[in-house]
Amino acid sequence: MNTILLGDQPVGPGHRTFLVAEVSQSHDGSLGMAHAFIDAAADAGADAIKFQTHIAAAESTLDEPFRVRFSRQDETRFAYWRRMEFSEAQWAGLAEHARARNLVFLSSPFSVMAVEMLARLGVPGWKVGSGEVKSLDLLEAMLGAGGPILLSTGMSRWEEIDEAFARLRARGAQLVLFQCTSKYPTPLQEVGLNVLDELRRRYDCPIGLSDHSASEYPAIAAIARGCDIVELHVTFHPRVFGPDVPASVTFEQFSRVRDARDSFALMDAHPVDKDAMADGLSAMRNTFGKSIAPSRALPAGTALTADMLTLKKPATGIPADQLAKLVGMKLRRDVVPGRLLNWEDLAS
């Protein structure tokens, strides 16, 4: 249960951190913009692209308030969800485009109808938003469709996470648990990297970070802590219109996260044998190390005392740790402080 597959990519301990570019509603209802996000995510090095599949009539009502009042064209939140909808054929085109760019195609459903449609498109896993942890009808539909369930915990207490984990695991579900904080944007002091460690301690499954900070640093720090999967909201520019943009990173920032991830993976894949490394650096050891030298000019026949000896570069003469052994020995010939001592300078 510690490793799942998303597409053909393993996600879990011992594998490179899986990176998800989260579009959310940043396409603003434009199919062309949604396709543009796919190309940008692929170019930035994402492993997966994730959308959100909203079907207004199946998930919302006219009573739903705006999370933030951002739109001049949508009179209601319901109207906004309607504007964010794509047809099944359009979603199929997005999924095909993502796969053509070697991206795993994911989309969070917010209704049973959305689950059923995405299942027909062959999504390889189910991302559950933080507000849907107790949506039993939605979770039941995902269980019926099959595939790993990626559960965000941004609004949940530990007892609620325990309950959700136990319920889904009892049904045989493969799970990923995400730490996130449902603030948009999330202040860095509320990202909760420590929760990643606690999630891994408590639960036998891969652990993820779903970040809304608009900074690349939480993702990089999470990867360094061994996080199995990281999801970042993305935008083309911080001034683009949309409610999720303030919580998003640019694709340039996403690329820096990718570079950090790949660098960490490269280092982790090549553990160093410290002794072998030191042996292979013998030339450098000689250059930077020190040997024994006279501290002043000394004539032949001098019996050496400690104050007549010092340590100087390079480490190609008598080793520094032999200094005590030289005290009391006599010089066979004259020596000067500009040259290292060697054993031939000393009487046997």
Exposure of 195 in the CB half-sphere (CA atoms within 13 A):
21
Name the band, by pLDDT with cuts 50, 70 and 90, for residue 106.
very high
Among 251, 268, 285, identify where a domain stops: 268
- pLDDT bin (cut points 50, 70, 90) of residue 72 is confident
How much is the pLDDT for 75?
Answer: 82
In this structure, the answer to whether residues 34 and 168 fall within a common structural domain is: yes
DSSP per-residue codes, 244-275: TGGG-EEHHHHHHHHHHHHHHHHHHTS---HH
Same structural domain for residues 197 and 337?
no
18 and 38 together in one domain: yes
Distance CA 99, CA 38 (A): 10
Q: Can you tell me the mean pLDDT for 26-49?
A: 97
204 and 58, same domain (yes or no): yes
Residue 31's domain spans which residues?
4-268
Q: How far apart are CA 310 and CA 101, in angstroms?
A: 65
Same domain, 183 and 104: yes
Across the chain, the runs of DSSP E, i.e. the strands, are 4-6, 9-11, 18-24, 48-53, 104-109, 126-128, 149-152, 175-179, 207-211, 229-235, 249-250, 291-294, 309-312
CATH of the domain at 154: 3.20.20.70
Q: Which of 154, 150, 180, 155 is nearest to 165 (CA)?
A: 150
Residue with tokens 């579009």: 23
Residues 6 or more apart whose CB falls under 8 angstroms from that of 348 comprise none
Same structural domain, 208 and 280: no
Span 44-61, average pLDDT: 95
Asked if residue 136 and residue 35 are part of one domain, the reply reads yes
**Rounded average pLDDT over 285-298:** 96
User: First CA to last CA across the chain, in angstroms?
Assistant: 70
Mind spelling out the 3-state secondary structure of the chain?
Answer: CCCEEECCEEECCCCCCEEEEEEECCCCCCHHHHHHHHHHHHHHCCCEEEEEECCHHHHCCCCCCCCCCCCCCCCCHHHHHHHHCCCHHHHHHHHHHHHHCCCEEEEEECCHHHHHHHHHHCCCCEEECHHHCCCHHHHHHHHHHCCCEEEECCCCCHHHHHHHHHHHHHCCCCEEEEECCCCCCCCHHHCCHHHHHHHHHHCCCCEEEEECCCCCHHHHHHHHCCCCEEEEEEECCCCCCCCCHHHCEEHHHHHHHHHHHHHHHHHHCCCCCHHHHHHHCHHHHHHHCCEEEECCCECCCCECCHHHEEEECCCCCCEHHHHHHHCCCEECCCECCCCCCCHHHECC
Number of domain units in the chain:
2
Tokens, residue 97: 């485009």
Question: In this prediction, what percent of the chain has a pLDDT beyond 70?
Answer: 99
Domain boundary among 222, 237, 268: 268
Tokens read off for 335: 């020596």
- Residue 238 clears pLDDT 90, i.e. is over it: yes
**% of the chain residues with pLDDT over 90:** 91
End residue of a domain, out of 241, 268, 295: 268
Q: Judge if 309 and 182 occupy the same domain.
A: no
pLDDT at position 203 is: 97
Give, as one character, the DSSP assignment of residue 346: B
pLDDT band at 69 (very low <50, low <70, confident <90, very high): low
* DSSP structure class, residue 2: -
> What CATH number is associated with residue 300?
3.90.1210.10
Residues 293 and 169 in one domain: no
With H, G, I as helix, E, B as strand and everything else as coil, classify residue 60. coil
Residue 299 has pLDDT above 80, yes or no: yes
Is the CB of residue 133 less than 8 Å from the CB of residue 153?
yes
Looking at the fold, whether 33 and 144 belong to one and the same domain comes out as: yes
Average of per-residue pLDDT values in the chain: 95
Instruction: Name the band, by pLDDT with cuts 50, 70 and 90, for residue 1.
Output: low
* Res 73: pLDDT: 82
Bridge partners, 48 (sequence order): 20, 104
Q: Do 51 and 154 belong to one domain? A: yes
More confident site: 268 or 64: 268
User: Are residues 330 and 225 part of one domain?
Assistant: no
